[in-house]
Amino acid sequence: MDTLITIGQLVLSLSILIVLHEFGHFLPARLFGTRVEKFYLFFDPYFSLFKKQIGETEYGIGWLPLGGYVKISGMIDESFDTEQMESEPQEWEFRSKPAWQRLIIMLGGVTVNFILGFLIYAMVLFAYGEEYLPAKNATAGIAVDSLGQEMGFLSGDMILKIGEEDFERFNDRAVLRAVAINNVRDITIERGGATQKLEIENKWADILTRHENKTERLFTPRIPFVVGAVLEGGPGDKAGLKIEDRIVSVDGTPTPYFDQFTDIVKGKKNQTFTIGVKSKDSETIREVKVTTNENGLIRTNPAPPAYSYDTERTEYGFLESFPAGYNQGVRFLGDQFSAFGQMFKGNIKVTESLGGFASIGSMFGKTWVWERFWYMTASLSLILAFMNLLPIPALDGGHVMFLLYEVVTGRKPSDKFMEYATMVGFVIVLGLVVLANGLDIWRGIQSWFG
């Protein structure tokens, strides 16, 4: 069921983006009197799942979910329908239109995706606002995971600055983004009451962007172990732990924080521990025996950081949301440009960052959360626009490149040249799709066999 939810979110998101992208080509084409023969969601080699002729255009849904297309009369595209190009140009054909009109038609798809991305970001902020934990409120500092520990962090550190930027909102992704994408190599921390700089080696740009580390946390807020959930029938439930109990020791060793408890207990299978527990609104400590299960767990989760620390929420009015959404989109695109720069420098491996449908789908999560769904859709819309602008024949950017050449030189590339260029571009794009999804399959095989 979890897999179906993930697939459903991915298919719905991509369907929205593909249809609106193709509509971005369709609308100016029709406004300029250009005939559009087909408008398809997904590709339809040999047959389609659904089709309906309305006027001059056949609308349909294909069976191959690798994108979508509009087939514009008199244009060399991925359909490779060259037969029409052998006849004399007609006034309703793409090739008969002025270069500036053809340029607008080709830029229509990415324009829609850029606008859509910014608009969705704005509407998410308007509908949900932004809840965050101010770093200053996390008074116990950070609880470090193994990856953060290798990087040089210790539990209890207080992060003050990332490079020259103050660490104001508690989020380990800010550190990851700064190190992997923005080339930041020093982080100011407070440790044991003293301020010091943690130097980050160049290798961490590569390590943090490896596929196996993409879901790993560097650190979380260090929180007391206040019981937030107890699995029915689990070791914690059998020991009598209740919601809002606070675990303060294990076998006489003080464990005021959750990470200290897990350091002692986690992974120790079928072992019995004596834990000190305080009930809510009581300072009396009672001792409880708990035996871990075969996985070394007590199946008891801590309350989220918001239980222990005050979070803040920024609300946006309707008009306020637009500049905020625009700024969020610009930051996201800036990160993409920076990531490409790091790839060219060799600091990030392309094969570690590249992923297919499985990688994209995993980012939606296994539960349907509309805020996350729309945030992911906005991000994918901007990525789709960015990638489509790459100067590769068969992508919009390739067509734009040749049209700009025509505008500047006054010379139009021949139909035969466009046919060969589109064929080469199509092979490149198909190769990238196969590589990206092949990497997903290989990672899945590696994960399956441990």
- Shared-domain flag, residues 205 and 309: yes
Residue where a domain terminates, one of 271, 302, 333: 302
Longest dimension (CA), the chain: 92
CB 104 within 8 A of CB 98: no
- Shared-domain flag, residues 119 and 161: no
- Shared-domain flag, residues 190 and 309: yes
- Shared-domain flag, residues 138 and 215: yes
- Shared-domain flag, residues 425 and 291: no
How much is the average pLDDT of 241-269?
91
Confidence of residue 322 (pLDDT cuts 50, 70, 90): very high
Question: Quick check: 249 pLDDT over 70?
Answer: yes
Query: How large a percentage of the chain has pLDDT more than 70?
Result: 91
- Shared-domain flag, residues 249 and 215: no
Q: Which two tokens stand for residue 317?
A: 């009015």
- Shared-domain flag, residues 88 and 98: yes
Query: Residue 34 falls within a domain, yes or no?
Result: no
CATH number for position 182: 2.30.42
Between 441 and 310, the more confident residue is 310
- Shared-domain flag, residues 167 and 309: yes
- Cα dihedral across residues 6, 7, 12, 16: positive or negative: positive
CATH number for position 291: 2.30.42.10
Q: For residue 442, what pLDDT is reported? A: 64
Query: Residue 22 falls within a domain, yes or no?
Result: no
CB 84 within 8 A of CB 419: no
Query: Residue 137 falls within a domain, yes or no?
Result: yes
Strands 158-162 and 253-254: unpaired
> For residue range 27-40, what is the model confidence (pLDDT) as tens digits?
999 999 999 999 99
> For residue range 403-426, what is the model confidence (pLDDT) as tens digits?
888 888 888 887 777 777 777 877
DSSP for 112-137 reads HHHHHHHHHHHHHHHHH-EEE-BGGG
Cα gap 349→344, rounded to integer Å: 9
Query: Residue 89 falls within a domain, yes or no?
Result: yes
Q: For residue 449, what pLDDT is reported? A: 52
Phi, psi values for residue 125, rounded to 5°: -65, -40
End-to-end CA distance of the chain: 24
Q: For residue 84, what pLDDT is reported? A: 62
How much is the average pLDDT of 282-303?
89
- Shared-domain flag, residues 203 and 310: yes
Query: Residue 252 falls within a domain, yes or no?
Result: yes
Between 287 and 367, the more confident residue is 287
| Closest CA relative to residue 275, chosen from 294, 261, 293 | 261
- Shared-domain flag, residues 207 and 310: yes
CA 328, 333, 334 angle in degrees (round to 5)? 95
Mapped onto helix, strand or coil, the DSSP state of residue 37 is strand
Residue where a domain terminates, one of 314, 338, 353: 314
User: In the sheet that 194-199 helps form, which strands lie side by side, from edge to edge?
Assistant: 165-166, 158-162, 186-191, 194-199
Cα gap 312→327, rounded to integer Å: 20
Give the number of other CB atoms < 10 A from CB of residue 345: 11
Residue 147 vs residues 53, 153, 192, 217, 264: alpha-carbon distances, Å: 56, 9, 21, 7, 19
Q: For residue 260, what pLDDT is reported? A: 93
Burial letters for 267-305: b for 16+ Cβ neighbours within 10 Å, e otherwise?
eeeeeebebbbbeeeeeeeeebebebeeeebbbbebbeb
Q: For residue 443, what pLDDT is reported? A: 62
- Residues belonging to the chain: 450
The domain of 254 spans 225-302
Query: Residue 161 falls within a domain, yes or no?
Result: yes
Cα gap 164→110, rounded to integer Å: 35
Q: For residue 79, what pLDDT is reported? A: 56
Q: For residue 33, what pLDDT is reported? A: 92
Residue where a domain terminates, one of 267, 302, 337: 302
| Closest CA relative to residue 200, chosen from 216, 191, 212, 187 | 187
DSSP for 245-278 reads -EEEEETTEE--SHHHHHHHHTT-TT-EEEEEEE
> For residue range 197-230, what is the model confidence (pLDDT) as tens digits?
999 988 888 888 877 777 778 999 999 999 999 8
Cα gap 144→154, rounded to integer Å: 6
CB 402 within 8 A of CB 410: no
Q: Is 223 exposed, middle or buried (0-12, 13-18, 19+ CB in 10 A)?
A: buried
Q: Which two tokens stand for residue 324?
A: 């905020």
**Mean pLDDT lowest for which of 16-20, 64-68, 114-118, 413-417?**
413-417
Query: Residue 341 falls within a domain, yes or no?
Result: no
Q: Which residue in this structure is represented by tokens 């301020």? A: 195
- Shared-domain flag, residues 114 and 145: no
- Shared-domain flag, residues 165 and 310: yes
Beta partners for residue 165, in sequence order: 162
Cα gap 57→144, rounded to integer Å: 58
Query: Residue 379 falls within a domain, yes or no?
Result: yes
Domains contained in the chain, number:
3
Mapped onto helix, strand or coil, the DSSP state of residue 184 is coil
CB 291 within 8 A of CB 235: yes
If you average pLDDT over every residue of the chain, what do you get?
A: 86
Q: For residue 122, what pLDDT is reported? A: 96
> For residue range 129-144, what is the model confidence (pLDDT) as tens digits?
988 999 999 999 999 9
